[in-house]
């Protein structure tokens, strides 16, 4: 290595290490903050444990204790917030970029305003009673912050992709108190490698995020699972059900991709047909004015021209 390049390499390594630590901190703080917002909205909406954000009373217990009319009102409010909120996001914000798409693109950064609004809408609607999961929002916020940090530190494209994936894993680790699952999600679900350049930041960021969130949320499981005895029948059932569940999940993923592609095609057709209707609705007026002003010859040419355009648009 050239002597002058050594300080640059050392400086780059220090920036890389600093970004890894900061992504872990950002993911932990984001997960903790979104969890606090989730619990606050839940308590205020359904009127339970108002005196504290994190209480031992579960969401199910709080909703059950609320009156029927309050439950209906909150669900109606949830639908209103979801409808208006996401309409506004898709209307005025930049197009959303999924984490998987960001990790595989040349510019791994995701739009900040659209991502934050999208994440906040998820948290608020889940708190009001939506069946959406709450783990997507911290993953998106973590990925967005990681992309900004990697860009600010002038990391390479490959390093930035890994950092964005680590930010998503850190958010997952924070919101569910699962550092190991966050690291595995990065390696197996996003970057598809276990090389040390991905393994080290994935483990470090998820561990830091989990510790930070644990300091605020407490070190306890997010869901209380009853104790089940490990019997032979349960083992046999698991061995048989595992492949079937995996196959169903694979088919579900294929179906979602197909529906997404079909939706985009349908929207393009709808948009084109809307423009076609607007254009063809003026056909008679256009032809009438042409024949009146310019005579039958020019009017006939215009008629054939519009007929050709109509055929192309209808195709």
Kindly report the CA angle at 91 between 86 and 97, in degrees rounded to 5?
A: 70
| Predicted confidence (pLDDT) at residue 236 exceeds the cutoff of 50 | yes
Cβ neighbours, 10 Å, residue 140: 27
Answer with the residue of higher pLDDT: 293 or 236: 236
Residues 16 and 149 in one domain: yes
Q: How sure is the predictor about 99, in pLDDT bands with cuts at 50, 70 and 90? A: very high
Residues 185 and 251 in one domain: no
pLDDT (0 to 100) of residue 1: 44
Is residue 225 included in any domain, yes or no? no
Residues 14 and 154 in one domain: yes
Region 19-32: mean pLDDT is 96
pLDDT (0 to 100) of residue 5: 57
Is residue 274 included in any domain, yes or no? yes
pLDDT (0 to 100) of residue 135: 86
Residues 132 and 276 in one domain: no
Residues 127 and 62 in one domain: yes
Is residue 247 included in any domain, yes or no? yes
The residue among 173, 189, 217 that closes a domain is: 217
Is residue 227 included in any domain, yes or no? no
Residues 36 and 150 in one domain: yes
Kindly give, in sequence order, each residue whose CB lies less than 8 Å from that of residue 209, ignoring residues fewer than 6 positions away: 24, 25, 27, 28, 31, 142, 170, 171, 173, 174, 179, 182
Residues 213 and 257 in one domain: no
Residues 283 and 204 in one domain: no
24: containing domain: 5-217
How many domains does the chain contain in total? 2
Q: CA–CA separation, 150 vs 154, rounded Å? A: 6
| Predicted confidence (pLDDT) at residue 270 exceeds the cutoff of 70 | no
Is residue 67 included in any domain, yes or no? yes
Is residue 270 included in any domain, yes or no? yes
Residues 185 and 237 in one domain: no
Is residue 226 included in any domain, yes or no? no
The model carries a pTM of 0.76
| Predicted confidence (pLDDT) at residue 208 exceeds the cutoff of 90 | yes
Answer with the residue of higher pLDDT: 73 or 6: 73
pLDDT (0 to 100) of residue 287: 43
Residues 119 and 147 in one domain: yes
Kindly report the CA angle at 212 between 206 and 216, in degrees rounded to 5?
A: 135
Is residue 160 included in any domain, yes or no? yes
């Amino acid at each position: 290595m050239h002597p002058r390049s050594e300080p640059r390499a050392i400086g780059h390594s220090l920036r890389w290490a600093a970004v890894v630590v900061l992504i872990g901190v950002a993911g932990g703080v984001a997960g903790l903050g979104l969890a606090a917002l989730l619990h606050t909205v839940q308590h205020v909406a359904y009127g339970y444990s108002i005196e504290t954000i994190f209480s031992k009373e579960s969401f199910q217990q709080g909703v059950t204790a609320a009156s029927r009319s309050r439950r209906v009102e909150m669900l109606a409010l949830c639908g209103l917030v979801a409808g208006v909120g996401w309409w506004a996001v898709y209307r005025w914000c930049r197009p959303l970029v999924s984490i998987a798409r960001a990790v595989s693109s040349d510019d791994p950064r995701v739009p900040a305003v659209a991502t934050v609004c999208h994440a906040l809408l998820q948290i608020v609607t889940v708190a009001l009673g939506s069946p959406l999961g709450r783990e997507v929002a911290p993953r998106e916020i973590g990925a967005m912050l990681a992309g900004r940090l990697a860009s600010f530190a002038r990391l390479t494209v490959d390093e930035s992709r890994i950092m964005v994936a680590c930010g998503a894993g850190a958010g997952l680790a924070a919101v569910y108190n699962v550092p190991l699952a966050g690291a595995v999600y990065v390696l197996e679900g996003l970057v598809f490698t276990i090389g040390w350049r991905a393994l080290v930041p994935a483990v470090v960021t998820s561990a830091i995020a989990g510790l930070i969130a644990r300091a605020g949320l407490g070190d306890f499981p997010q869901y209380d699972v009853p104790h089940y005895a490990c019997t032979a029948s349960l083992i046999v059932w698991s061995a048989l059900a595992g492949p079937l569940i995996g196959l169903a999940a694979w088919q579900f993923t294929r179906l979602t991709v197909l529906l997404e592609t079909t939706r985009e095609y349908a929207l393009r057709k709808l948009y084109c047909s809307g423009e076609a209707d607007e254009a063809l609705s003026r056909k008679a007026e256009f032809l009438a004015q042409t024949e009146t002003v310019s005579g039958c010859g020019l009017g006939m040419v215009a008629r054939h021209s519009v007929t050709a355009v109509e055929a192309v648009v209808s195709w």
